[in-house]
Chain A
């Protein structure tokens, strides 16, 4: 830290300017995000230990109550609070500008916080046993809907502030050329967030008015369609934010640069255009929606969004491979991968997130989203099996990896118990993978999601289903321990971490270049010129390793996809 006369300090590690106002709100949003993560995490532990039929911990009403609490705290509060923190951070630091309005940031923060507390309290006093989706005609206390509206509008204000800050940066010409890729990705996320939150307002405001008894009940199917405009699109905000974090962490930990910036930016655009349509896959076995509409939305439109994920899923590891090879790790197909900084929690979290999201989430997601295959998947545990690998194994793990960098940089303290921090991504990643696989396979055997007891009317599912439910319990406990470790380390660091004010943070460990000559390390995410030097680099250092990984991915996908068509063909004919 040097000079805060202009309301900025210069980060001693990255050389990035940090707006002190923005820093305050980044800290507030991030700390609250972690609080909601903890609430959701405790819920997760209790739920996993209940669905493990042998343990069956919670009583019935508390199971459904905690399930509602867990969904909202994890999927909405933790993610939204953290995303607002990311938006403020990338806009002010990477574009070297001050936050456009401090008052607006306060309004956003207070609305989001009050809304979230209202929702949690309403659930815990038993006035909103309606699940996160709160499908009409199920009805909760008005405070529940009002709380969600406050969070949504508060977030919307935060996002608008982000756009205002971008505008300010452009007007003050604080950067040259086009915005850096990470900012571009974050902006894509912000644009999707606006559309998402508008859907939220469209669906929640009439529902709130109905819960007050002021208007008639909205149509349940209209509710489902509009709610999923919020529900699935909000996950695309996560995907965009997560992919941006991948690029950032890849760069921070191995010096990777995007192979072709234009392609990456194009892929973000595909998200914006097509992902809204993909939310149709929640309605594939609903009445009164035509097959033509379902197929259009889930094939051509969705595949374009999936294509975007596959582009990122390829370019991110390929850029790491190129960077590693350039530093001299050229042995064999995977020499670059084995030599990667696996002890650096930023890297391990990022790479595990990539693998878990791609293999687990990608393969199951595309399969479940197939119109007819959905018949043998809808509302079974296969669905949470899918979104736990995407949102938890993917997004949450990537955000944790980011925290290992952002916490020391912003709070200017070194992480405590570093060896434990190095283990944390593995514990969490493995736990969540075991749990989600248990869910997926139990769901393939027909086990329903959102059910307190699958044996209420005698045995329906075989012993194998119980084995997989036990995996859900064990994986859930491991993942919770990983989560708890993350929170303890982070909170412990804020309280007791060694102060590094004015000093650069200690490196978590990056690969040492083997070749002669220092590789070029531009400050990460800072505006750079065209992507052409990176392209030339890619030609000189090919990416066979990533190609092989991509082939393995496509093969696994094909096996899973056609196995599902076979399973479907064995069911009764139905139209």
Chain B
């Protein structure tokens, strides 16, 4: 009984929920959106195929993150206490978004723009570990999320 009530209760009152908000998107389009987002916020063009993860400080609002064998693109720099709508999707295979040490985990599926509305709590540099097997080399797919 308690257990049956706990999930709806947390859905309305709790602060941590997986609402599954997502939109259908072609991987190529999602990559373009992310590259546009980087250009708008840094003034320099960075392309996913260069294989680097530039640091992007973005104002609260819509932010983008691509998962690709074996890279998180770009490296997002956020402000504590602000609310962001993090769009995360995959360019190639399925990946897992695992933010440490909070241990918050979400599935990243190509073709789906998964929107996570998050509110970073404390400054620091947080590893984003890929926790869905995405090929030999999967263990090296570790990105960063910077919070100021």
Contacts and interface: CB of A to CB of B under 8 A. Distances in A.
Interface stretch (B6-14, B28-36, B48-56): B6-14
A366 B7 CA distance: 12
B119 interface: yes
A380 B19 contact: no
A575 B19 contact: yes
B129 A448 contact: yes
Contacts of A506: none
Interface in B94-148: 94, 96, 98-121, 127, 129-140, 142
Given A138-B94, A457-B127, A285 B14 contact: no
A380 B7 contact: no
B93 A286 contact: no
Chain B: interface residue count, which band? 35 or more
A568 B16 contact: yes
B33 to A, nearest CB: 16
B84 to A, nearest CB: 10
A375 B134 CA distance: 20
Nearest to B94: A135
Contacts of A450: 131-133, 138
A298 interface: yes
Contacts of B131: 378-380, 448-451
A392 interface: no
Contacts of A446: 98, 100-101, 103, 129
A333 interface: no
B21 interface: yes
B15 A569 contact: yes
A109 B112 CA distance: 41
A291 B11 contact: yes
A456 B103 CA distance: 18
A219 B111 contact: yes
B136 A574 contact: no
Nearest to B83: A573
A64 B133 contact: yes
B6 A370 contact: yes
B105 A287 contact: no
B93 A138 contact: yes
B16 A460 contact: no
B112 A372 contact: no
A138 to B, nearest CB: 6
B42 interface: no
B100 A285 contact: no
Interface in B64-115: 92-94, 96, 98-115
Interface string A140-165: 00000000000000000000000000
Given A291-B19, A370-B6, A286 B107 contact: yes
B136 A60 contact: yes
A295 interface: yes
Contacts of A451: 129, 131, 138-139
Given A461-B100, A569-B15, A575-B17, A288 B105 contact: no
B62 to A, nearest CB: 14
A571 B18 CA distance: 13
B132 A379 contact: yes
B105 A574 contact: no
Nearest to A298: B7
A565 interface: yes
Nearest to B127: A460
B131 to A, nearest CB: 4
A213 B138 CA distance: 26
Interface in A171-219: 219
Contact of B3 (A221, A287, A299): A299
Contacts of A289: 20
18 contacts: A64-B133, A135-B94, A220-B110, A224-B94, A287-B106, A370-B3, A372-B11, A375-B104, A379-B131, A448-B98, A452-B138, A452-B139, A457-B127, A460-B129, A570-B102, A572-B99, A574-B15, A574-B17
Interface of A: 60-61, 64, 129-131, 135-138, 219-221, 224, 283-291, 294-295, 298-300, 303, 366, 370-372, 374-380, 444-446, 448-454, 456-457, 460-461, 561, 565, 567-575
The 5 closest A-B CB pairs, nearest first, are A287-B22, A287-B114, A448-B131, A288-B22, A573-B15
